[in-house]
Chain A
């Protein structure tokens, strides 16, 4: 496809919470950016002078214009994943920037934020620049790296946040590990104010985790797997909220998994503290029961919790306590998961199931589709300060087109990700991304009948 070819998405149901749009209409993308939106029924027309003249933009009038018939489909801003592990550099057997971003666009994501726990760690501008260069050369979507808070993610000395910010990092996290030292966390929240970037906190008190392997409770007793109490997460959520209040930094809590964390964040927000939070599809879709019987694909950090936690997460999503649904896409090699439960690494390959699992919340009435678009596109973009997650004219032409009625059986073997580690294999879900457009170009599309058979088309 040529670079400047225009793209017209016709007759789709456009959902864009950033502009309050929820209705049938057309979107025109030109030069890689959103040029205009034209809503039917005269309800809204945010396009100002540049109204789409369907006659003028007909295929005859402009041969360079590609038209997508989106009738019966939803058209959303391209999804933004705030929490991704692309594994490159260092762990290319698990995932690469190429395969990870392929998985992203197959899952409807047009931007991802890869975490810094690579090898070497993304704790300096050279690694940041490498990731961005690779993403530009081989990536299928936009990549906004998350830099490490501390050198080597050791939790001791601050990493070069400023230099990494200048190289393209838009948030900082020691994800995979907590910043155990309270004084280091305090300094990070203070120092990061220079660049107005969020500190994404992996909340886990390692002393309380104590090498635990799954949620602590009756099931951990029954399986003989050492338990991780909810308190291991919650004491750190509480600490970080207190430090956030002390420092005036921007705190974002990663992968919220417990009822108590939701309560703490809700209270903090009520008090006006600048905290945001994310959860992941597995925390609102499945419980610790998925670990039975020693299923390493359900081993994840923080661990899958109990039913009461799952319900609390849903309520937190519903009332706005939890701002973001992120994937925590954590691909691992088959050999690594085919081990003793305690030896197996934690993580779920999540990019290619997240949207379908999110749509279940819409089906259940937990979220409206607008709210889901907020949590999977606009809110994460806003948190890391990127001009994404919106269909506002002038923004990048990132669009995700969804067939909400299409049924699909999850088949890990056809994942674009190298990581086939999912507890959702063979799940029957409804609603999938059918076309993913990145900066005005179709990055992924699926034939209407062939989703489960093939990986789709990458251009």
Chain B
């Protein structure tokens, strides 16, 4: 792997496989009584979160602590950013502290690339705007492989607000590198131009779910309603929400995923979310293992 993990787009299939394989070992560590390894002792990580995040930030922080790194949480409301400091100066300052990793979450697409270009520190993208969320795609792939043994040959549907979803983008890039068929399902207002991505687009969820092995549900942001992307939550739920009736249109082994936090009753019904087909909580656990693997590999290869 290179110095940074800015996106799945920039990763090779071999890099991805390497992360997934390494994550298997770290998952074993997480099953132990003592869940901490000294792998990255002496390394320092700054979690630089410019957007509110509980799940991703907690997952990264746990991964960092279980690798024995020293962790700094850069809290934006208390920082110089509110005093008008530019992002450039903020990250150059962090670089000067001599840290080894910057984990960055930012509302603007391309910020991880911008930081990676300007500092020698390893940069890990924890979600940038509507561009990518690479560690989510990696943990999703890991979770699918855990359940199905392989990615190859699988039919995977991604349902919801594809247009604004960095999770969907990273998943599309990742799954495209493997022998999978990808279907995007959602209202036309929330499906971007996908050109030569090699995906199928369905506006009709029932048709799109036929013969599917994996369904990835996306969180629908309620503010999209006021911007005219769909008329109401109940209408959205009727046409693009996942419930047991719809899940039964698919195969018996079909698994349902969701990156969280879920809007129960809107994009996913509780009976599905809490069913044995749901792997939502496995995704949470696997997120820690995958993020440990990413940092471990970047530390090994990216740094001199």
Contact = CB atoms under 8 A, between A and B. Distances in A.
13 contacts: A218-B194, A218-B195, A218-B197, A220-B192, A220-B193, A222-B169, A223-B109, A224-B109, A224-B129, A225-B109, A339-B88, A340-B111, A342-B109
A335 B92 CA distance: 14
Interface string A291-306: 0011000000000000
Given A218-B193, A218-B195, A218-B196, A224 B110 contact: yes
B86 interface: yes
A155 B269 CA distance: 48
Given A221-B194, A294-B113, A340 B132 contact: no
B109 A338 contact: no
Interface in B81-114: 86-88, 106, 108-111, 113-114
B220 to A, nearest CB: 18
Contacts of B106: 340
Interface in A341-383: 341-343
A343 B108 contact: yes
Given A293-B110, A340-B110, A341-B108, A224 B130 contact: yes
Contacts of A220: 192-193
A11 B113 CA distance: 53
Contacts of B129: 224-225, 342
A176 interface: no
B114 to A, nearest CB: 6
Nearest to B118: A338
A5 interface: no
A226 B192 CA distance: 10
B109 A222 contact: no
B131 interface: yes
Contacts of B194: 218, 221
Interface string B148-185: 00000000000000000010010000000000000000
Interface of A: 216-218, 220-227, 293-294, 335, 338-343
A294 B128 CA distance: 12
Interface of B: 9, 86-88, 106, 108-111, 113-114, 128-132, 166, 169, 192-197
Given A339-B86, A339-B87, A340-B87, A223 B110 contact: yes
Interface of B is mostly: loop
Q: Which 10 pairs from chain A and chain B are nearest by CB?
A: A224-B131, A218-B195, A294-B110, A224-B109, A340-B108, A221-B192, A224-B130, A341-B110, A342-B108, A294-B113
Nearest to B109: A224
Contacts of B131: 223-225
Contacts of A217: 193, 195
B200 to A, nearest CB: 16
A218 B109 CA distance: 15
From A218, A223, A224, A227, name the one whose CB has the most chain B CB atoms within 10 angstroms. Answer: A224
A338 B130 contact: no
A338 B166 contact: no
A261 to B, nearest CB: 20
Given A340-B106, A340-B114, A341-B110, 4 more contacts: A221-B197, A222-B169, A225-B109, A226-B130
Nearest to A343: B108
A299 to B, nearest CB: 11
Contact of B109 (A335, A339, A341): A341
A115 to B, nearest CB: 27
A335 B86 contact: yes
Contacts of A339: 86-88
A143 to B, nearest CB: 33
Nearest to A335: B86
A10 B106 CA distance: 61
B186 to A, nearest CB: 14
A225 B163 CA distance: 10
B10 to A, nearest CB: 9
Contacts of A342: 108-109, 129
A425 to B, nearest CB: 15
B110 A225 contact: yes
A338 B195 contact: no
A217 B86 CA distance: 30
A335 B88 CA distance: 9
A217 B194 CA distance: 8
Nearest to A341: B110
A294 B194 CA distance: 19
Contacts of B128: 224
Nearest to B192: A221
A145 to B, nearest CB: 33
A338 B88 contact: yes
From A220, A227, A340, A343, name the one whose CB has the most chain B CB atoms within 10 angstroms. Answer: A340
A458 B214 CA distance: 69
A226 B163 CA distance: 9
B55 to A, nearest CB: 20
A348 B86 CA distance: 22
Contacts of A340: 87, 106, 108, 110-111, 114
Contacts of A222: 9, 169
Contacts of B195: 217-218, 221
A148 B131 CA distance: 38
Contacts of A216: 193
A35 B192 CA distance: 61
Contacts of A341: 108-110, 114
A236 B9 CA distance: 36
Contacts of A335: 86, 88
Nearest to A229: B193
Given A224-B166, A340-B108, A294 B114 contact: yes
A338 B131 CA distance: 19
Nearest to B162: A221
Contacts of A293: 110, 113
Contacts of A225: 109-110, 129-131
Nearest to A218: B195
B26 to A, nearest CB: 28
Nearest to A225: B109
A221 B131 CA distance: 8
A182 to B, nearest CB: 22
B25 to A, nearest CB: 32
A342 B166 CA distance: 16
Contacts of B114: 294, 340-341
Nearest to B7: A224
A333 B200 CA distance: 44
B225 to A, nearest CB: 16
Contacts of B109: 223-225, 294, 341-342
